[in-house]
Structure 1
């Protein structure tokens, strides 16, 4: 039983954001490649396991320009889905776990025994750091929510883009990195709906940080498709707060993807999370999407 080394990579300076660390969309680009390589080397396919139901991403350690990276991928039969594939991104210098992606599949129960046989040689136990924490393994909604419903619940348009050929994989569909590009550019506009806007963060020397995400695709996007992201707040705790992005194909208003995000503020000097003030937490809860 062993994981497969699926990605060998390096953090480029142009991939780092205003916090001087690797931006989340480039983690997803590497998880996309890990998925492609794992499928090639293991024989995993949609014909065997069905389409991926969800991808949970947890960010464990900051990565900086110049860091050398290695990804290892394996099947976890004891994971949260009937078939779970785990990708672990590590910094090569010290083997520190930087991020994990847990991919969930729901194949027919009749093929469960065959899947266990096929993937036994690339299986390993489910690592605890990769377990979904903030968001349940069940799907985000049923995929029939409309833009009008989201807007009535309190979401707003925070980003627009167009799918270009460079945003697609070998199957001609927009990949996770494209969705995260949209959500990364949308996120500051969501933050600006809270008291923690641009000026507020700058005055305090704080940065915006995502610690966990759950991405679910509800339909494909292809080159030329215009998209719009509608987002809103969903909750707040002691240090973290959450929001949800909905990605729609703009011409037909078809829902393409949903991404839940757990975020926090980070002191840019100490690189530590900062607790939410009571008034900030109250404002977030007051502005959260109404179900």
Structure 2
């Protein structure tokens, strides 16, 4: 029997190059928000496929992982035919969950188009219930986390959506030295 090799992870993981397709362009002339999630999802599949959570994991072991929560920030428009790559940073994991951070970057110019913070749950597809990761997947996640722990923690992690009240906004402007 062939011995399984421990995967090597780059920090961060960088997806293959993808392209903004014409069908993804909306009436505003830029990529519709839904397709940012398509790009993020493809990168998640590529990145976590390296730890053993790819399509063969579903087929052979009847396990998968489902999105539980996603927080996306749209920073810059993407237009038709723009080439992009997505970086993935494993922030944390436990026996049933993975917490990760993604950035869509223009593949040739390097600017960030969008960021996403996600939390996914490991699923037993026979019961469709949350279940612990197998030991080999946990070990691979630990190797990925060790590689990614050298990266800076993204400032936008844990960000809350909301409109700040006026007094909080004024306090923030005063402490930053900006006045309106």
On whether the aligned pair clears a TM of 0.5, the verdict is yes
Gaps of 5+ in 1: 1-152
Higher share in strand: 1
Deviation per CA, 1:187-226: give whole Å up to 9, x if none.
2211122243444443221123111111111211112311
Deviation per CA, 1:153-194: give whole Å up to 9, x if none.
701222322223321222212122111111222222111222
Q: Which has the higher contact order (CA 8 A, sep 6+)?
A: 2
Match of residue 119 from structure 1: none
Match of residue 213 from structure 1: 70
CA contact (8 A) 1:231 1:244 kept: yes
| 1:285 Cα deviation after fit | 3.6
1:262 aligns with 2:92: no
Match of residue 155 from structure 1: 12
Gaps of 5+ in 2: 1-9, 153-180
| Cα separation, partners in 2 of 1:164 and 1:197, compared to 1, 3 Å | closer
CA contact (8 A) 2:57 2:64 kept: no
TM-align CA RMSD:
2.3
Separation (CA, whole Å) in 1 of partners of 2:53 and 2:83: 30
Match of residue 173 from structure 1: 30
Aligned length: 140
Match of residue 271 from structure 1: 128
Which range moves more in the overlay, 200-209 or 248-257?
Answer: 200-209
Give the alignment of 1:1-291 within 5 angstroms: 154-277=11-134, 280-288=137-145, 289=148, 290=150, 291=152
Separation (CA, whole Å) in 1 of partners of 2:21 and 2:49: 28
TM (norm. structure 1) is 0.43
